Amino acid sequence: MMRKYMRTFGALTLALAVTLGPVAPVFGQQQGQSQNQQQNQQQTPPPVSQQVANQAAQQQASQPTANSTQGGPPPAPPQAKGTSDAAPSTYSHGNRAFPDIIKPYQEMHVPAPDMNNSKHLADFISNGKMRISVQDAITLALENSIDIDVERYAPWISEANLLASMSGSGNPGGLSFDPILQVLGEVSQSETPVVNPLTAGTGTTNSFSSIGTHQVIANFSYNQGFVTGTNLTVTQSNTRSSSTQSANVFNPFVQSTMSVQLTQELLNGFGLAVNERFIKVAKNNVKISDLAFKQQVITTVTNVENDYWSLVFAIKNIDVAQQGVDSAQQLFDSDSKQAEIGTMAPLDVTTAKAQLVTAQTVLITAQGARRQAEEVLLAAITRNPLASTMQNFEIVPTDNTYIPEEVEKVPLDQAVREALGNRPDYQELVVNLNSDSLNVAATKNELLPTLNVTGRYGWTGLAGTQISNGSVIPGEFTADLNDPIVNASGTPIPGEFLPEAVFGAPSTSHSGLSNALSEILHDQFPNYAAFFQFTMPIRNRAAQGANAASILTQRQDMTRLQQAQNNIVLAIREAQIALEQARATLTSAIQSRELQQESLDAEVKKLNLGVSTTLNVSIIQNQLQAALGTELQARVNLVIDKVNFDNVMGRTFSANAITVAKSRNAAPALGHETLIPGTHVDGSIDQHQ
């Protein structure tokens, strides 16, 4: 008997340990997640953003001075800028159940988007002018870019999808890694008519009768799946029932049952590869979203730099056009005076006036181009261009063009390796290939038929109220037990029933739920079973199609990866050629401008000596203006080509002193793949000194 009790106690202990112990997927996944975070902090680069702009007083005190248009080093970059994430946690963790047990059943807090401009934007505006350097423009763009705001949600959405996949959502066989507790309560009352009162246990009367039943049911079940393809089910049921049937031994009676069942998949659905598939794919999607956010930051930085230098060109082009107007005006005034005293023909005055009108038209066009370039840059650095503080001012770039160092003369193989290691768009394809491999392995497993084995052990307990008739009183029992008490039609024979006086008082015994549970604990009524189930779909076309599609997708993505590599190689060569060409073009433009200036000076001397004409001077003036514009365009093109070269090589962050940071509590470092990239949830960016 002791061995029987020990077996029961061991089974219950095992069921309780499996149900409540730390092997539950929620606990295990949280610990695994923490370990993965520590391991991945040295593996996966986190997303990127920009430091907050310095305070207005500090900026005005440390404004970089404009460089000479003749070249020189670029403005010294500020201290490296990093970002932090002030989100309360990552969305892949969800609301914690402790100490607030109802927290997982409440809506997660997601801050509303901030559509206002950053607080530091207005600090740059003074006396109707916004004076910003290229680094300031980058900072403001990363604080206010709507494109970045939109892309920032992608990693958060991916983390929310990861949270859903960690519950087992989508797994074959419906395995739920989140434990499921189900409670069923029921109260019922029924009246059932009977045909044969005798066999129904309601008496022997011929009158119409019915059975009344009252039931109270309380059932509990616990279900949980594991990544091995195992499913655990623990059930505990309790029923209290009373009936008008007199034949029941217990009335009312209480019945309790408990069972522990384990089911293990052996073919389809077996192992980590298939059951962790969606979790691993969701983690890869988080990495891809992080990289996409990083790529958006790079794109934003590149675009705002190009917009900034385009505005620099537009402003300086106005200066060039104004010089043309001034020269034409000077020539027109000189010719008019000479015409008045009769030393110059009126036709020359007309020619000078036409030259002046042409120069004025060029100036008007340049002024319009400046306004357009200013609007483009303003849109890039503001979240809300209609804000009251964003009206009635002009942007004044404080940085000037410069001649960058020669960085384009890098061996092609070395440049390609650097670009492939730096570019987020290429790394996205690599991570996506890993997801393809997971899908191929999982769909290969799904080709197999389904075979599972199940073991179940259960216990039953029964208790209630039992009424026993009293024993026969000695000397009172005179009836002949051999005489029939009913006739052939079932009607009682008068005088043949035993009188109640011959029996003693009936006895009643009471027991309840505790007695039924005690019988379960003492294993008085055990039951157990073991069985298997084999399912094989004929032709199996659904699984074949899914597996073939996953392999084809993998092959397509492998080809797409090579395509991206080829495009990067071409882009590097084009960027190198463009940068080399821009340097040569600038050198040629400087020489051309110098020669045109010398030609103009000589022609003006000839005109003053009377051996040249206004037409000749006007022609050379036009040529000089064109040479000045060409040189200015060449200088800006060289800087823009350098920006584009850095973009192609994946050097945008290092070239602009932008660093990556894991969180607000950590120094810039490699982070885990589930980091929500970007800035604070309100869109602001922390400053790291």
- Residue 269, SS3? coil
What pLDDT does 455 receive?
Answer: 96
Question: Whose structure tokens read 């419906």?
Answer: 174
Give the three-state DSSP class for 386.
coil
Give dist(CA 476, CA 500) in Å, integer.
Answer: 10
Coil, strand or helix at 498:
coil
In this prediction, residue 259 carries a pLDDT of: 95
Q: Are 162 and 32 in contact (CB under 8 A)?
A: no
The CB density around residue 599, as the number of other CB atoms within 10 Å, is: 17
How far is 287 from 282, CA to CA, in rounded Å?
Answer: 9
Q: What residues pair up with 182 in beta bridges, in sequence order? A: 221
User: Is the torsion defined by CA of 650, 652, 653, 655 positive or negative?
Assistant: positive
Is the CB of residue 36 less than 8 Å from the CB of residue 650? no
The reply to whether omega before 99 is within 30° of 0 (cis) is: yes
210 pLDDT higher than 80: no
State whether residue 69 is helix, strand or coil: coil
The phi and psi torsions of 509 (rounded to 5 degrees) equal -120, 140
pLDDT, position 340 = 82
Range scoring the smallest mean pLDDT among 1-15, 313-327, 333-347: 1-15
Split at pLDDT 50, 70, 90, the class of 208 is: low
Residue 379 amino acid letter? A
Q: What's the 3-state SS for 111-152?
A: CCCCCCCCCCCHHHEECCEEEECHHHHHHHHHHHCHHHHHHH
Around Cβ 561, how many Cβ atoms within 10 Å?
A: 15
Query: Above 90 in pLDDT, residue 152?
Result: no
Span 405-440, pLDDT tens digits? 888 888 999 999 999 999 999 999 999 999 999 999
pLDDT on residue 494: 59
Residue bearing tokens 């497993």: 445
Q: Please count the CA atoms within 13 angstroms of the CA of 28 that sit on its side-chain side.
A: 16
- For the chain, how are helix, strand and coil distributed in percent, rounded to 5? 50, 15, 35
User: Helix or strand or coil: residue 486?
Assistant: strand
Residue 218: CA atoms inside 13 Å, Cβ hemisphere, count?
Answer: 5
Residues in a beta bridge with 393: none
CATH number for the 41-172+275-445+542-655 domain, one of 1.10.8.10, 1.10.287.3510, 2.60.40.10, 1.20.1600.10? 1.20.1600.10
Q: Is the pLDDT of residue 639 over 80?
A: yes
- Name the pTM for this structure: 0.74
Residue spans per domain, the chain: 41-172+275-445+542-655
pLDDT, one tens digit per residue, over 514-529 is 888 888 888 888 999 9
Backbone angles phi, psi at 175, to 5 degrees: -65, 130
Give yes or no for residue 156 having a pLDDT over 50. Answer: yes
pLDDT band at 493 (very low <50, low <70, confident <90, very high): low
The pLDDT tens digits for 91-126 are: 888 888 888 889 888 888 888 888 888 888 888 998
- In the chain, % of residues over pLDDT 90: 43
Total Cβ atoms within 10 A of residue 506 = 10
Cβ-proximal residues to 177 (8 Å cutoff; 6+ apart), any chain: 25, 26, 29, 166, 167, 168, 171, 224, 225, 226, 227
d(CA 621, CA 320): 12
